[in-house]
């Protein structure tokens, strides 16, 4: 598969060699969004809804490394897209199927997916990072789900994965406050696997790639498949309600005010409506 029709992702093969190991079957996939922080717009969202199915069907790869071009991994929704959704609510409603498919198709991939968290991961970007199998972060990166700060329910998968990684008490705190977490603390609490110095990020990813490639392919893939079964069942349980509530929250007055305030760099004037 050559992935030539993708606009918001870059694809590279054969990276992350460790001690001369052959990485021809390692596929690096990088967010390459319409802004410097790889924010999600309509094009990227649509591509995400088919990306993981295409990765599963790619015959040339056994391991996926998911990362971001530039200074961020993926910092959530693009604010121009937010304003378009507020002005035309049907456009938010119409992406509900895509939103569910992003989560379910990511969990369906049986190839190991390593998240190389090179910078900020927020909102949907954080959800995608946390649904990967092994997460290695630059120690300067931050991760969080600030949906609530822009007036939205954390409905694109955050409610599925955060409680499974750090427990309900901590997860609800971060999902309801929208606070971002520095990578070292995220590693300490078990939200991610590793936080390493910038200069060591690629070497750490390469070491993990080498370990995975050194094991029998189908033992690795099917172990992942079994481990993901409870997450897949949970996603089926939660995603319809999650997307439904998120769609409703896009209609509120506080949603529109939160987005305006962010763009105008001022505190929002919230009315509770």
Query: What is the crossing angle of helices 217-227 and 229-249, to 10°?
Result: 50
Residue 210 dihedral angles phi and psi, to the nearest 5° = -60, -40
Q: Is residue 222 part of a domain?
A: yes
In angstroms, the CA 252 to CA 168 distance is 27
Query: In 3-state terms, what secondary structure has residue 24?
Result: coil
Q: Is residue 3 part of a domain?
A: no
* Edge-to-edge strand ranges of the sheet holding 142-144: 72-74, 120-122, 142-144, 180-182
| The predicted structure's pLDDT at residue 109 | 98
In angstroms, the CA 7 to CA 31 distance is 10
Q: Is residue 41 part of a domain?
A: yes
If one counts every other C-beta atom within 10 angstroms of the C-beta of residue 52, the result is 25
Round to the nearest angstrom and report the end-to-end CA distance of the chain: 48
The string of pLDDT tens digits covering residues 224-266 is 999 999 999 999 999 999 999 999 999 999 999 999 999 999 9
Q: Is pLDDT of 1 > 90?
A: no
Query: What is the crossing angle of helices 158-166 and 168-177, to 10°?
Result: 140
Burial of 265 (0-12, 13-18, 19+ CB in 10 A): exposed
Residue 120 CB-half CA count within 13 A: 16
Q: Is pLDDT of 2 > 90?
A: no
In angstroms, the CA 71 to CA 85 distance is 26
The string of pLDDT tens digits covering residues 128-167 is 999 999 999 999 999 999 999 999 999 999 999 999 999 9
In angstroms, the CA 59 to CA 142 distance is 33
Mean pLDDT of 58-80: 96
What is the extent of the structural domain holding 244? Answer: 9-264
In angstroms, the CA 44 to CA 170 distance is 30
| The predicted structure's pLDDT at residue 26 | 98
| The predicted structure's pLDDT at residue 124 | 97
Q: pLDDT confidence of 56, banded at 50, 70, 90?
A: very high
Query: In 3-state terms, what secondary structure has residue 63?
Result: strand
The string of pLDDT tens digits covering residues 22-54 is 999 999 999 999 999 999 999 999 999 999 999
The CATH code of the domain that includes 55 is: 3.90.226.10
The string of pLDDT tens digits covering residues 113-124 is 999 999 999 999
In angstroms, the CA 197 to CA 183 distance is 10
Q: pLDDT confidence of 18, banded at 50, 70, 90?
A: very high
> Token pair of 215, please?
């094991």
| The predicted structure's pLDDT at residue 31 | 98
How many domains in the chain?
Answer: 1
In angstroms, the CA 186 to CA 242 distance is 24
Q: Is pLDDT of 59 > 90?
A: yes
> Token pair of 163, please?
């409680």
Q: Is residue 269 part of a domain?
A: no
How high does pLDDT run on average in the chain? 97
The predicted model scores a pTM of 0.96
Q: Is residue 273 part of a domain?
A: no
In angstroms, the CA 183 to CA 164 distance is 18
Cβ atoms of 144 and 93 within 8 Å: the answer is no
Q: Is residue 122 part of a domain?
A: yes
């Amino acid at each position: 598969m050559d992935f030539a029709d993708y606009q918001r992702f870059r694809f590279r093969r054969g990276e992350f060699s460790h001690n001369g190991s052959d990485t021809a079957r390692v596929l690096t996939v990088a967010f390459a969004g319409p802004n410097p922080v790889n924010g999600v717009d309509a094009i990227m969202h649509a591509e995400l809804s088919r990306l993981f199915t295409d990765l599963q069907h790619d015959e040339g790869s056994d391991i996926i490394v998911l990362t971001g071009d530039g200074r961020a991994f993926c910092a959530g929704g693009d604010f121009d897209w937010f304003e378009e959704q507020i002005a035309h609510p049907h456009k938010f409603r119409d992406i509900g199927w895509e939103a569910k498919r992003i989560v379910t198709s990511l969990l369906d991939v049986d190839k190991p997916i390593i998240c190389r968290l090179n910078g900020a991961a927020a909102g949907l970007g954080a959800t995608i990072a946390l649904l990967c199998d092994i997460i290695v972060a630059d120690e300067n990166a931050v991760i969080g789900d600030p949906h609530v700060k822009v007036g939205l329910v954390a409905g694109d998968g955050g409610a599925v994965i955060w409680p499974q990684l750090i427990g309900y008490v901590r997860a609800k705190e971060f999902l309801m406050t929208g606070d971002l977490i520095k990578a070292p603390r995220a590693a300490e609490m078990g939200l991610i696997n590793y936080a390493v110095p910038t200069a060591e990020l690629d070497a750490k990813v390469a070491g993990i790639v080498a370990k995975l490639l050194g094991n029998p392919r189908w033992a690795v893939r099917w172990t992942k498949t079994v481990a993901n079964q409870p997450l897949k069942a949970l996603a089926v349980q939660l995603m319809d309600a999650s997307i439904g509530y998120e769609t409703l929250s896009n209609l509120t007055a506080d949603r529109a005010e939160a987005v305006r305030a962010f763009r105008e760099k001022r505190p929002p004037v919230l009315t509770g409506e």
